[in-house]
Structure 1
Amino acid sequence: MKIKFTPAENLPDNQIEVEVRAAALNDEVLELLGKLKAIDSSTAIFPIKLEDKTRIVNEADIIAIEVNRPNLIFYVSGDQYISKGNLKSCLDSLNRDFIQVSKYGVININKLVSLEASFSGNMIALLANNVKINVSRRYLVDLKERLGM
């Protein structure tokens, strides 16, 4: 691997642009891109709109989001925040570390501890801080794919 720094003239001082060049898009390139994305998303913040204020959290601290109509429950490093909103729009705002596991739940894949069998072919995702989220059969294929299973 060859690493080179080139100053960019038209870039603001607080912005970094990284370009990865290779002969082909292979596993090594994909792994490198994943690591760069993780570095970029490790400082990403996410606003959770509460009843009387907006709580700002690091995306990396969000364990899971669950629908409890009409509310969303955000599980964040030992805390729970209840907010109004739409699960789909939350998922669209979050980085690639988040995956939908049911019609009513999204998990941070980095906080996944284990998967356990449940009834009727569903699974239960056991996450950090003892958070449990149901994984429906419909979304299980995507989750297993992301986990490399």
Structure 2
Amino acid sequence: MKVNLFVSKDIKEAHADIHTNELTDNITKAIAILESDDSNDMLAVKNGSDIALLELGDIYMFRVEDKQVKVYTENSDYLIKKPLYQVEEDLDQSFVRISKTTIVNLKKIQRVAPSLKGMMFIELKNGLKDNISRKYLPEFKEALGL
């Protein structure tokens, strides 16, 4: 999908025009987001050549892999262009960094267990697993209220 953005100080109220040959689910979601004030609860991600809109509550994990940030949901994974530190700035307290390369949704944690050399192991409800590094462990425990 081609997207054009025009920024002008002469425009008093922002508006969007969508030109399409078919009303798809993604376009319907985009319209809902544009019309609502809750756009901070959504994240635009790449799904192949398409752009998908995800609700933050549906995201399990953000992880850097092969110099790209992957977004994991229950059954799928997507790519985003933002670096991990910028993603982290836009997230609410439901998300916490557990390592240099990973941010998880606290609401999607299945279990946490001790791991090697003072680290902890985390498993999410969709089966994803990762380690919580010692550096981020105090912040993780605080986020859990421990």
TM range, normalised to the smaller chain? 0.5 to 0.7
Report Cα offsets for 1:14-69 as digits up to 9, x if no partner. xxxxxxxxxxxxxxxxxxxxxxxxxx98x921111455232100100000011113
Q: Distance in 1 between matches of 2:75 and 2:50?
A: 19
Q: 1:60 aligns with which of 44, 57, 60?
A: 57
Point out where structure 2 has 5 or more consecutive residues left out of the alignment.
1-36
> TM-score of the superposition, structure 1-length normalised?
0.66
Counterpart residue number, 1:127: 124
Q: How far does residue 92 in structure 1 lie from its aligned partner after superposition?
A: 1.0
Q: Which amino acid aligns with 1:96?
A: Q
Q: Does the CA-based 8 Å contact 1:70-1:84 persist in structure 2?
A: no
SS at structure 2 position matched to 1:145? helix
| Between structures 1 and 2, the one with greater helix share | 1
Q: Does the CA-based 8 Å contact 2:63-2:101 persist in structure 1?
A: yes
Report Cα offsets for 1:102-134 as digits up to 9, x if no partner. 001000011111111111111111111111122
RMSD: 2.0
1:103 matches 2:100: yes
Q: 1:112 aligns with which of 83, 99, 109?
A: 109
Q: Does the CA-based 8 Å contact 1:105-1:134 persist in structure 2?
A: no
SS at structure 2 position matched to 1:141? helix
Point out where structure 1 has 5 or more consecutive residues left out of the alignment.
1-39
Counterpart residue number, 2:45: 48
1:136 matches 2:141: no
Q: Distance in 1 between matches of 2:145 and 2:110?
A: 15
> TM-score of the superposition, structure 2-length normalised?
0.68
**Count of matched residue pairs:** 109
Q: Which moved more, 1:69-78 or 1:129-138?
A: 69-78
Overall identity of the aligned pairs, in %? 28
